Amino acid sequence: MGNQPARIQSLDSTLINQIAAGEVVERPASVLKELLENSLDAGAQNITVEAERGGCKRIYVADDGVGVHKEDLVLALSRHATSKLSTLADLQHIHSLGFRGEALPSIASVARTRLKSKWHQADLAWEVSCEGGGGIEAPKPTALSKGTLVEVSDLFFSTPARRKFLKSETTELHHLDQVLKRLALSRFDVGFTFQHNGRSKGQWPRALDENQQRKRIAAICGTAMADSLVRVDVVSDVLSLQGWLGLPTFSRAHPDMQYFYLNERFIRDKTISHAVRQAFRDVLYHDRHSVFVLNLSVDPTRVDVNVHPAKQEVRFRDARMVHDFIYRELHRVLSCPAGGARQGTEAVSPVAEMPRQVNMRWSAVREQRTVYAALSQAPAVSDGQADDRLLDEAEVPPLGYALAQLHGVYILAQNANGLVLVDMHAAHERISYEQLKTALDADASSQPLLVPINIAVSAGELKSWQEHADQFAQLGFEIERLGEDNLIVRQVPAVLQRENVAELIHDVLSEINEHGSSSGIMDRIREILATRACYGSVRANRRLSIEEMNALLRDMESTERSGQCNHGRPTFVQLSMSDLDHWFMRGR
């Protein structure tokens, strides 16, 4: 006969802790994350981290927080014991980073652990230790001026099978570094010091103002990323979004510089990722990734952070509201015209208050000359010359006035800050594209199909269409239900009449089913308009007059997203007088 089923029995407490450790402690970086979160929850202002051999040999975390009371030290290494929860109501209002009450005992069950702490109201510091899930020693006096010190040595020494799954020292060090950097970018008010094998790997003092915070981002992510960032600071009734967003002119091949936090907790969430991608869809190549350091503040009752032991996955009560808020605000920041300031919902172009009496179009250059003269009240100047009197006026436009054209490719202009270089084709491509979108919004004509398209759909796709039928109609589709699992398309937006409509609708309905919304149709329409804008834009080596160049500059200032072309490249570069003085070593 085969093996008989075993009887149910209670597990040994050490085995229970080691099973729990499997959920919490994957590698040395998991240990570091739990210890750092405890330090932050304790109100630490400065944290020191030391590691040896990628953390496999030793991890040491010391902080200057409030400390642990002598009577609580043993409990800190015991399962299901925590200072962060006491009732079910607390579980629904989680403000701390750690709260499960299992991290320290789980760590202690698979490593040698020493815990020293001085309660902020006590005169003495006390120490306890535990070895591989064995008994916890009674507290004994120790030397420590403030805060808490945790030392974890010989990770997985008591579970050799798990130790075999650890990677090289270099790999484990990389994961430690990632954990520390993520927390350092979420808590600028805390100073961090990191050493590995006795060598400094990073030192980031407290950053209490915006300039210091930018320096920390530069130290962690590089100067190029830090220089590309614009500030985001948006507050609504139930949500707020703060941090920095990278302009599309700086992008990455991988999403390795995307730091998104929920109530200062680093998370990965499909809803948020989708909203960010939508915000960048008009200004970034499809295979490139944006960069950002953003924190979303939400009432804890509106989100469940206890979905997974690692707490990087969350569940929003109203995911659609969160998605739309993030998309709307990031889109608004990115929509600022060239030369305008980007300040979240406060973003206003310096020319936004100018009367927009005429919609200037490049196809009628003579009309643009008249329009520019009317708007700026500037006398006409001949090609190759600039009227210096304009530059002495107080109201100089953000992109200034044209000086000359360089090799038929670039426009050189002078503004209040210095020299502006404009890629005239890229700039006009963006202007044309935005004008085409505006025209489409004003006249979204439809095209009846000679032969209606029959589309077989799943139950989920059918439900998605039923819930969003009005939106399809607004875009110019005429779609009807045909039986239990078919849709019939009788009319499509005129711009899509040559597209594979069945495939497009399938993709859109699938995306709606997964994310609750879709930009698929508009993405395809925008691709078509972008192609038309590119073909219709002014080409290189075309000679422009000063008036024509100025007309283009004024169009840029009044056009959304004109700081980047349709592919995310910059349309202009500002060189300040200090930049130029530095190049020519003036003042030295």
pLDDT band at 310 (very low <50, low <70, confident <90, very high): low
- In the listed set 316, 334, 352, which residue is the last one of a domain according to the structure? 334
Q: Does the pLDDT of residue 586 top 50, yes or no?
A: yes
Residue 546 and residue 519 share a domain: yes
Structural domain includes residue 414: yes
Between these two residues, 2 and 126, which has the higher pLDDT value? 126
Between these two residues, 382 and 272, which has the higher pLDDT value? 272
pLDDT band at 14 (very low <50, low <70, confident <90, very high): low
Structural domain includes residue 344: no
Render pLDDT for 410-431 as a digit per residue (tens, 0 to 9): 999 999 999 999 999 999 999 9
pLDDT for res 381: 42
pLDDT for res 170: 95
Residue 443 and residue 327 share a domain: no
pLDDT for res 283: 87
Tokens 């422009």 -> residue: 544
All residues at 6 or more sequence positions from 310 whose CB lies less than 8 Å from its CB, including other chains: 24, 30
Residue 308 and residue 400 share a domain: no
CA 42 to each of CA 68, 119, 262, 265, 429: distance values in angstroms, whole numbers, following the listed order: 9, 11, 19, 15, 53
| SS3 assignment, position 77 | coil
Structural domain includes residue 4: no
Q: Does the pLDDT of residue 231 top 70, yes or no?
A: yes
Structural domain includes residue 2: no
Residue 247 and residue 164 share a domain: no
- In the listed set 169, 204, 239, which residue is the last one of a domain according to the structure? 204
Structural domain includes residue 352: no
Structural domain includes residue 365: no
Q: Does the pLDDT of residue 485 top 50, yes or no?
A: yes
Q: Residue 283: which CATH number? A: 3.30.230.10
Max mean pLDDT among 26-35, 470-479, 525-534 falls in: 26-35
Q: Does the pLDDT of residue 435 top 70, yes or no?
A: yes
Q: Does the pLDDT of residue 195 top 70, yes or no?
A: yes
pLDDT band at 182 (very low <50, low <70, confident <90, very high): very high
pTM comes to 0.74
| SS3 assignment, position 5 | coil
CA 216 to each of CA 200, 229, 251, 257, 291: distance values in angstroms, whole numbers, following the listed order: 16, 13, 19, 14, 15
pLDDT for res 3: 64
All residues at 6 or more sequence positions from 3 whose CB lies less than 8 Å from its CB, including other chains: none
Structural domain includes residue 546: yes
Q: Does the pLDDT of residue 364 top 50, yes or no?
A: no
Between these two residues, 384 and 46, which has the higher pLDDT value? 46
- The answer to whether 454 and 488 are in contact (CB under 8 A) is yes
pLDDT band at 446 (very low <50, low <70, confident <90, very high): confident
Between these two residues, 565 and 222, which has the higher pLDDT value? 222
Residue 158 and residue 50 share a domain: yes
- The answer to whether 550 and 405 are in contact (CB under 8 A) is no
Number of domains into which the chain is organized = 3
Residue 441 and residue 411 share a domain: yes
Residue 198 and residue 229 share a domain: no
Q: What is the 3-state secondary structure of 484-537?
A: CCEEEEEEEEHHHCCCCHHHHHHHHHHHHHHHCCCCHHHHHHHHHHHHHHHHHC
- The answer to whether 56 and 166 are in contact (CB under 8 A) is yes
pLDDT for res 361: 33
Residue 522 and residue 486 share a domain: yes
Q: Does the pLDDT of residue 309 top 60, yes or no?
A: no
- The answer to whether 97 and 40 are in contact (CB under 8 A) is yes
Between these two residues, 41 and 392, which has the higher pLDDT value? 41
Structural domain includes residue 339: no
Residue 284 and residue 185 share a domain: no
Residue 491 and residue 442 share a domain: yes
pLDDT band at 11 (very low <50, low <70, confident <90, very high): low
Residue 402 and residue 310 share a domain: no
Q: Does the pLDDT of residue 390 top 70, yes or no?
A: no
Domain that holds residue 517: 396-588
Q: Does the pLDDT of residue 460 top 80, yes or no?
A: yes
Q: What would the mean pLDDT of 141-147 be, rounded to a whole number? A: 95
| Residue percentage of the chain with pLDDT more than 90 | 47
